[in-house]
Amino acid sequence: MDIAIPAPLTAGTVAPDFSIPGTAGGAVTLSDYRNSKHVLLAFFPAAGTPVCTFEMCAFGEDFGRFSAAEVEVLGISMDSMDKLEQFRDAQGLRVQLLSDIDGAVARQFGALWKSGTIANRAYFLVDKTGVIRWAHVEEHPGLRRENEEILAAINSVTA
């Protein structure tokens, strides 16, 4: 059964603040990045699935390019911390993964999938002032953006 999902946030919107657990230990609060780094929020459906694994590994392969652009990549799913930590360790992931176990953050950003049980694949680039500068929500969770497209978007709005 589909549930009512808020519309995705768009470029020019102030990103809602949140604080949820991350695989680096402790809570990650979006506003802690203000005035220091841009943040790419990369919502993904489920740790360990083929597309999600490929995507999170690809972020790690281009980790230096994201870092050079002063962008912190945060992968967000509705998986438990245990599952995310196992996923990180099994794949040797370099990006931090955040557990939005109840879907509250995905709902705030309009990135919850129709069923309400997983996040849709979605990307929100939040600049150093806390404003969303680029956003893309996939038509369905099986699709993903290539890093080249994401990095081009980053360069177009942060240069």
Q: Which residues are catalytic?
A: 52
- What DSSP character marks residue 18? -
Which candidate, 35, 41, 51, places its Cα nearest to that of 15?
41
Which candidate, 61, 69, 123, 120, places its Cα nearest to that of 93?
61
Q: Which string of b and e fits 43-82 if b means at least 16 CB within 10 Å?
A: bbbbbebebbbebbebbbebeebbeebebbbbbbbbbeee
